[in-house]
Structures are given as C-alpha cells and as structure tokens.
A and B are shown apart, each in its own frame.
Chain A
Amino acid sequence: MLISVEVMLNAVNLSLAGFSRHLGDLRGQVLALFVIAVAAAEVGVGLGLVIALNRNKPGAAVADLTKLKW
C-alpha cells in the first residue's frame, strides 16, 4: 500500500515538472523537490510504523490491522 503512495507522488511530481516546463516557471520544480523531501520523511515514519506493527503482528496486509479501529 505504501508503495502505491510513492507511485502517486511520482505522478504528482511529473505533472508539477510538466507544468513548470509549460508555464516557464521554476517554482513547480522546487515544489516537486519539496514533495520528494516530504516523501522521504513519510517513508521513514511509515516504515518505522510497519516494522513496529510487524513485530507485534506479522503480515503486511492493511486489512488485518483492525486493532487500531474503535
């Protein structure tokens, strides 16, 4: 599931770079750089969470993680 988030972020980066090129404005590329930085932070925390969850309950399926539901 997390890797699908990465794929979507890549799509957003691509459209940012494309519009940056189309409009002749560098701010789109800078925004894409920020998206990459935020994605790196998200990966760090997200995979830390996955490791912590995996330690308590093996498996990567999101559907099994019903313990956090209330």
Chain B
Amino acid sequence: MLNAEPNLSQEAILLTAIFYYMAGASVASALLAVTRKNPVHSMLWVLALFLHVAGIFLLLGAEFLAAVQVIVYAGAILMFYLFVVMLFNLPEEEARPRFGNHWPFAAAVGLSFAALAWVARSGSGIAPAQTRLATESAPQGSLAAIGMVLFGPFALPFEIASLLLLAAIIGAVVLATRRTA
C-alpha cells in the first residue's frame, strides 16, 4: 500500500466502518438467533452470524480462517443442524417457553464478561500494558504460512484432530443407527 496519505486514511475509515457494521450485525444476529421462537428462523440468523464473523476474519487478515468458517460452519455444520431441526415438531416447539429458569444468571455472566472486555479495552490496569504489536509487513493468515505452522509445530495436534473426527464419525453412526433386529 504505497498510496498517498489522504487516500490511506480514507481506506482506514472505510475499514473501520466495515468492522463496526460486521461487529454490530454479528451481535444483533446472535441475539436474534437466541431469542427467535421458530428454530428454523433461529438457524438462519445463526447463518447470518457465521457469515459476518467470516467477514471479521477477513478484516483481521485471516483469509484461510474465513474460508474455513464459510465452508465448514455455514456450509456443513449449519446444514446438518437444519436437517435435524426439521425433524422436530415445529408448532409444538414454538409453543414452548424459549428460555430455561436460569437465564438471568447466564445473562449476568455474559454482561459481566462484556464489561470485563470493555475495561480491558480501555486499559485500566487489567490488560497487560506491554504487548508486542503486530508487524504489518508480514503476510499473515496466508495459506502457505498457516500450512507451515500447521504441519510444523502443530503436526501432532493435527493428527489427533483427524483421529477425533474419525471417532466422531463412528460414534455418530453408532448412535444414529436404528436397531432393526
């Protein structure tokens, strides 16, 4: 980026605006997903949430993570959820109360965590003051760099993750098999 100064600041303003849109839309769609009565509507709001989070990943320079988010989360996991949700008796589900008895506790915990994040952001002693700043020149999150880390120091966890997925496949088949004998 060797643009002139005003051009650069315009770009920064645009990126900031996009970030605030993505963050606000993520929070709003998460709230809607939790509060909607119809489970299918809930799932569609979660889809919006996943896509906006993928946008934030893009803004953070994590292109591969954004692609994985769209393909795995929005593509595979969400479709799976939708199929299962459609097995349920939807009118009966809509008539139920949406929240359990403990939801004030959960809301309090969530709000206090948000307050903690806010305090840490304003830097009033809780956040570590001296953190290493990102080097802007390094091409972060590119597929090659991630691959070098993934197959270098993280090779063993990678293999363990594949084993975990295999165990999950077998477990899901065992659990969902209808016993016909």
A contact residues vs B (CB 8 Å cutoff): 2-4, 6-7, 10, 13-14, 17-18, 20-24, 26-27, 29-30, 32-34, 36-45, 47-52, 54-55, 58-63
Would you call B68 and A62 a contact (CB within 8 A)?
no
Which A-chain residue is minimally distant from B61 (CB atoms)?
Answer: A21
- Which chain B residues border A38 with CB–CB below 8 Å? 161, 164
Is residue B168 within 8 Å, beta carbon to beta carbon, of the partner chain?
A: yes
Is residue B3 within 8 Å, beta carbon to beta carbon, of the partner chain?
A: no
- Which chain B residues border A13 with CB–CB below 8 Å? 53, 65, 69
* A20, chain B: closest CB distance, angstroms: 7
Q: A30-B149, A30-B154, A33-B68 are in contact. Are A21 and B168 (CB under 8 A)?
A: no
A39, B46: Cα distance in complex, Å: 15
Would you call B140 and A26 a contact (CB within 8 A)?
yes
- Which chain B residues border A51 with CB–CB below 8 Å? 84, 87, 175-176
* A14, chain B: closest CB distance, angstroms: 6
Which B-chain residue is minimally distant from A7 (CB atoms)?
Answer: B30
Would you call A48 and B149 a contact (CB within 8 A)?
no
- Which chain B residues border A36 with CB–CB below 8 Å? 68-69, 72-73
Would you call B132 and A24 a contact (CB within 8 A)?
yes
Q: Which of B65, B158, B172 meets A48, CB within 8 Å?
A: B172
